[in-house]
Amino acid sequence: MSLLLRVLTADPPLDPSGDEAHSLLRRELAHPEYHDGNLFLRLLDWLDRELNGLIDSAADTPPLSAFAAIVAFLLLGLALAWLLSRARRTARAAARPGPVVEDSTVTAAQLRASAERALAEGRNGAALVDGFRALTVRQVERGRLDDRPGATAREVAGALASTYPDQQVPVSSSAALFDAVRYGDRPATRDQAADVLALDDALAGHR
């Protein structure tokens, strides 16, 4: 309420204008510090400082006009903060690793065939993902890996590293690539996809 009373009793005009305030807000939000920490609280703190400056510099504009401009400025900032916060939450949710195998009825041979077909067609990301899935299911079929529905790539890599200690590095690397491509929307190269398929072959032939 104290902020509203200050606005209604001040003698504006606002300096800067509404358009200039919008431009200032856009430039402020482009600063990297708004992408770290609590974005919403940082923006509110900046808006509070800017609004106090506008109120203190008011001189000639009627109070109601000043009040309307300040409210519009504040609402714009809150809307942008909400959109940016939602975008960050969505990005974090999308990047959270999920299960390796989503269809428990698919076989290793089917997944391997799908991976090889994708690689031949230049769909490197799909080839890498299905290749790691084929590797996982094959090890389950061979009894070298427990059948754990919903297991993540990191969990699969941890189990396989214990079973195949000499393959720990390529297994961990392949698991990280799987998460990055499948859940992080990262692109994959042909060599990366081919390496996962080669690892499947190496583990399948391991005694």
Residues 62-100: tens digit of each pLDDT: 666 666 666 666 676 667 666 666 655 544 444 567 899
Tokens of 203: 């583990």
Would you say residue 101 lies in a domain?
Answer: no
Q: What are phi and psi of 123, to 5 degrees?
A: -90, 80
Q: What's the pLDDT at 207? A: 57
Q: What's the pLDDT at 2? A: 44
pLDDT beyond 60 at 10: no
Neighbour-count burial of 56, counting CB atoms closer than 10 A to its CB (0-12 exposed, 13-18 middle, 19+ buried) = exposed
85 and 130 housed in the same domain: no
Q: What is the pLDDT of residues 123-172, one digit of tens each?
A: 999 999 999 999 999 999 999 999 888 899 999 999 999 999 999 999 99
137 and 80 housed in the same domain: no
Domain-terminating residue out of 70, 95, 120? 95
Domain count, the chain: 2
Considering only 70-84, 107-121, 175-189, which range has the smallest mean pLDDT? 70-84
Of 197 and 47, more confident:
197
Q: What is the pLDDT of residues 14-48, one digit of tens each?
A: 444 555 555 555 565 555 555 555 656 666 676 66
Domain that holds residue 37: 2-95
112 and 64 housed in the same domain: no
81 and 116 housed in the same domain: no
CATH number, residue 147? 1.20.120
Mean pLDDT of the chain: 77
Of 40 and 115, more confident:
115
Would you say residue 186 lies in a domain?
Answer: yes
Domain-terminating residue out of 44, 69, 95? 95
